[in-house]
Structure 1
Amino acid sequence: MATKKLRRSAMLGRVVAATATLGLVAGLAACGSDSTSSNPTTDSPTASDISGELNILVSSADASDKAFGEVVDAFNAKYPNAKATLNSVPNDTYPTTKSAQLTAGKVDIFVVKTFREMPDYAVDSTSEDVQLAQSGGLLDLTDEAFMKNYTPSVLDSQAIGGRQFAVPTGNSYVTGLYYNKKIFADNGIEAPTTWTELQSAVSTLEGAGVTAFGIGGKDTWPAGLVMNGVVGGLYPTAADKQALTDSLWDQSASLDSGVPLEVLQKTQWVFDHAQKNFSGAGYDDMPAAFANGDFAILPDGTWNQPTIDTAVAGAFEYGYIPFPASDNAADNKYLNGKIELQLGVSAATKNKDAALAFLDLFSSKDVYTKFVATSGFSSAQPDIEQSEFLNSITDITSQFEPVWESIWIANANAGDAAAYPFNYPALKPLGSDDAAAAAAAANSAWTAAF
């Protein structure tokens, strides 16, 4: 599912949690292996090389649980002298369970969370798992041969100090638009690649009596997919997004002028051309409405494609394109995404060989291909056979560009209006503001934090 942006209370909780784990980090580093850099894997280990128990902890989701279970079964079949066990726990209890199992030395491989390096000005927001990596609590996987299987731009986005401490299990893409090819063809419209082309397409649709966009705004966050799409076109690269974050934190940029204001203006434009009363529409109702032809374009992520496909049931063909927020088509070339579950290895593992053998097997082409097929994730490796839909969008996912939410760093001292910081929940009909008023409120809340 899509990641909901952390609000102020969540950010405060994360900072407290990170601080509380400093003792745990130090303890794990002390009892870990002699070096946090493991030796490069040159050959896949044989069955006789690997033995003992291997405990794997993941946060629960039906599809990924099944996919991990298949890998565990494959591992146990390949290495009969070893015994890998999968422990899946609910997302809300995962952090405490993980901390307890790490402290007790009962986990070898586990899912790491919020795995990104923070700049100096936001060091207090560093996650506990990044602290583990920085303090020697995670094995350094950089030189392991299996890491070469993964797309370099994906690895770049999760590097800590230029090193790799986790295996990326897959990606989800956030900033795409599903569009009804039949409606487009019936009205002589090509898939838009620029903002001007999108505006023209919407004008043609509405002239024919067709509602342009469908948004499930009842839970607010689905409307945030539009905001993320706009940001993706106006700030197309990770460097662009990071530069904006830096400039907001050093207050050399403001949220109520220039391109930041344009983000809200273009988000409001989409809201203005969505179905009536979308603020009361549920996210789960959108696939059926799209299938029914209630609107022509649905902003949604790749994770929801199986549901959309089931709803459409072959009634028409649909396509998927990056949100074309810029008038420079090159800026709209790639979808923006997030890395899904990432697997790290505790430096305190008592079975390092088995842990590395598991990740080596996981990363092998056959096993990984089956994993992404079962989990529904988009591949974090190149040249992997995926579903027909995911194969159809490889040209717009070949370069991994992180979504805004994975770059932006909220300030725990700022008000809710600056949480994203683009204040899309204040825009009509979710709220009562126009773009200028919403941007002014965001800027006021942001500057008041300094």
Structure 2
Amino acid sequence: MATKKLRRSTAIGRIVAATATLGLVAGLAACGGGSSDTATSTGGSGSPSASDVTGDLNILVSSADASDKAFGEVIDAFNAKYPNAKATLNSVPNDTYPTTKSAQLTAGKVDVFVVKTFREMPDYAQDSVSEDVQLAQSGGLVDLTDQAFMKNYTQSVLDSQAIGGKQYAVPTGTSYVTGVYYNKKIFSDNGIEAPTTWSELQAATEKLEKAGVTAFGIGGKDTWPAGLVMLGAVGSEYPTAADKQATIDGLWNQSVSLTSGKPLDVLKKTQWVFEHAQKNFSGAGYDDMPAAFARGEFAMLPDGTWNQPTIATAVNDQFEIGYFPFPGSDNAADNKYLNGKIELQLAVSASSKNQAAALAFLDLFSQKDTYTKFVETSGFSSAQPDIDQSDFLNSIADQTSQFEPVWESLWIANPNAGDDASFPFNYPALKPLGSSDAAGAAAAAESAWTKAF
């Protein structure tokens, strides 16, 4: 299921471990084989006619049940619209996708494929540039910047994936990480509105606990779900991509300390939530949280949008569910937008023998009716504006109208630093996951980080 795939992709320890090992494969530039100047543009004249699109089209994606089904629907629509062409989906398990992708690109057997870790790296982290970005920079991907269908996508989403100011991929959707589900009945029974500031969250928690209600539920057994609280706190302390990037730059040039100011505040606020979560949450499984939330064992559940279908199924009609961005700042404007990540991104190989069909596929994919059905089936949040989605996603449209990337999608781990500085906000060291308070966890992170230079 897409929700399980995304859940794994937001497992923060795994993401940072992957980030630390980027750049190990760098040999794909030679398979570029062609210039983006040769691409047949659909820009300015609408979709191509059926007679202009012919031949085989091979599409390679990393596997997940819901997104596979959604891609299958698009392929069926493409083959019906262009009967002289034949699109085929090759869905590969995530673990083997990089190897399969490399082999198929080298052999010239893939036309459209999913690119990953698709973002620019600053000068100090050039060793972490992904092979897909290297491919774009070397001319191995078709430049999609001037394709008319790219205008269908939200500009702030496109801005977050630009390489050298150009677009090389279609963003199939987004998912949001820094929200908090809440039980509207419990809130209403206790005269509480959804909090928009840190002080309001603290006041709501105090009121709940006076009424004998546990404030937060966290599935801490796998550690990473507790990290969603940390990411929410980071999103409020550093609400824009520029804020986050400036902090990352400052950590790498050692002008920012992890033991004071906002970095320490991130851990203090994370620790505070931990202190107001259910007892023994470090032993609770992530998959057990929806049912516990449905039983009313706590009022709030920090979790991502990908898990909403599971939570809604557990709750059924027992009460209404709400969702708000983690309000870690006392400036409500800093808490306005959910922080998210771009889901699967589709690029066209410059060595494709059928670029006309590849561009026609992306054009069809990007049309409003096709795209609306795709996000409905895949469960992704829309990367296009004004798309009618599920009632839940429509209800948070204001919170997602501007795309703000989550910290983990920008953070660059130093492979020479120890585990305490992996995130680098050292939430696993906080009680009850670890044995430290915020100051101790920050000091351990600072020591691990500075020793890496």
1:53 aligned onto 2:84 = no
Map of 2:22 onto structure 1: 14
- Aligned pairs for 1:44-123 (under 5 A) are 44-123=47-126
Alpha-carbon contact 2:36-2:139 (below 8 Å) kept: no
User: Could you list the per-position Cα deviations for residues 372-430 of structure 1 after superposition, in whole angstroms to 9, with x for gaps in the alignment?
Assistant: 00000000000001001001110100000000001111001111100000000110011
What percent of counterpart residues are identical? 78
* Residue 210 of structure 2, aligned match among 207, 230, 233: 207
How many angstroms does 1:14 deviate by? 2.2
Asked if the contact 2:145–2:168 (Cα under 8 Å) also holds between the matched residues in 1, the reply is yes
Q: Which residue of 1 aligns with 2:277?
A: 274
Partners of 1:331 and 1:68 lie apart in 2 by 36
Partners of 1:38 and 1:144 within 8 A in 2: no
1:337 aligns with 2:340: yes
Number of residue pairs matched by the alignment: 444
Determine the structure 1 residue equivalent to 2:3: none
Of 206, 219, 237 in structure 2, the residue corresponding to residue 216 of structure 1 is 219
1:252 matched residue in structure 2: 255
The equivalent position to 1:230 in structure 2, one of 225, 233, 250, is: 233
Change (3 A) 1:155 1:129: same
Aligned match of 2:371: 368
Question: Aligned AA for 1:10?
Answer: A
User: What residue number does 1:35 align with?
Assistant: 37
In structure 1, distance between residues paired with 2:434 and 2:410: 25
CA contact (8 A) 2:21 2:128 kept: no
Does the 8 Å contact 2:259/2:442 carry over to 1? yes
TM-score of the superposed pair, with normalisation by structure 2? 0.96
Q: Kindly provide the CA deviation profile for residues 28-54 of structure 1, in whole angstroms up to 9, marking residues without a partner as x.
A: 23x114637764522201111100000
RMSD in angstroms over aligned alpha carbons?
1.2
Q: Which residue, out of 431, 436, 449, partners 1:433?
A: 436
- Structure 1 match to 2:425: 422
* One-letter amino acid of the structure 2 residue matched with residue 395 of structure 1: D
Superimposed CA distance per residue, residues 6-30 of structure 1 (whole angstroms, 9 cap, x where no aligned partner): 477534532322xxx23x21x223x
Aligned match for 1:385, one of 385, 388, 412: 388
Aligned partner letter, 1:222: P
CA distance in 2, matches of 1:343, 1:243: 29
TM-score normalised by the chain length of structure 1: 0.97
Give the residue type in structure 2 aligned to 1:101: Q
Who is 2:11 aligned against? 4
Measured in 2, the distance between the counterparts of 1:8 and 1:184 equals 36
Partner SS state of residue 100, structure 2: helix
CA contact (8 A) 2:197 2:328 kept: yes
For 1:170, the equivalent position in structure 2 comes to 173
3-state SS, counterpart of residue 405 of structure 1:
helix
Letter in 1 for 2:109: K
Per-residue CA deviation, residues 342-382 of structure 1 (Å, 9 max, x unaligned), is 00000000000000000000000000000000000000000
Residues 93 and 274 from structure 1, CA distance in 2 versus in 1: closer, same or farther, beyond 3 angstroms? same
| Distance (Å, rounded) in 2 between the aligned partners of 1:16 and 1:369 | 37
Structure 1 residues 97 and 439, CA, compared in 2 at 3 Å: closer, same or farther? same
Equivalent positions of 1:266-415 (< 5 A) are 266-415=269-418
2:41–2:359 Cα contact (<8 Å) kept: no
SS of 1:232 mapped into structure 2: helix
Name the CA distance, whole Å, in 2 between partners of 1:109 and 1:409. Answer: 28
Partner of 1:187: 190
AA at the equivalent of 1:14 = L
Tell me the secondary structure at the aligned position of residue 368 of structure 1.
helix
Contact 1:14-1:125 at 8 Å conserved across structures: yes
CA apart distance, 1:257: 0.8
Structure 1 contact 179–319 (Cα < 8 Å) conserved:
yes
Residues 11, 321 of structure 1: alpha-carbon distance in 2 compared, 3 angstrom cutoff: closer
1:220, 1:425 within 8 Å by CA — same for their partners in 2? yes
9 and 168 in structure 1: CA distance in 2 versus 1, 3 angstrom threshold:
closer
Who is 1:142 aligned against? Answer: 145
Aligned pair in 2 of structure 1 residues 247, 36: CA closer, same or farther (>3 Å)?
Answer: farther
Q: Distance in 2 between matches of 1:295 and 1:211?
A: 5
Q: Distance in 2 between matches of 1:10 and 1:396?
A: 29
Distance 1:303 1:145 in 2: 30
The 8 Å contact of residues 226 and 299 in structure 1, kept in 2 or not, is answered as yes
> 1:4 corresponds to which letter in structure 2?
A
- Contact residue 40 and residue 359 of structure 2 kept, 8 A: no
Distance (whole Å) between structure 1 residues aligned to residue 36 and residue 401 of structure 2: 38
1:159 corresponding residue in structure 2: 162
Q: Distance in 2 between matches of 1:364 and 1:9?
A: 36
SS state at 2:22 partner: helix
**Bigger mean CA deviation after superposition, 381-390 or 32-41:** 32-41
Q: Distance in 2 between matches of 1:218 and 1:326?
A: 28
Structure 2 Cα separation of the partners of residues 399 and 280 of structure 1: 36
Unaligned regions of 5+ residues in structure 1, if any? none
- Whether 1:446 aligns to 2:453 is no
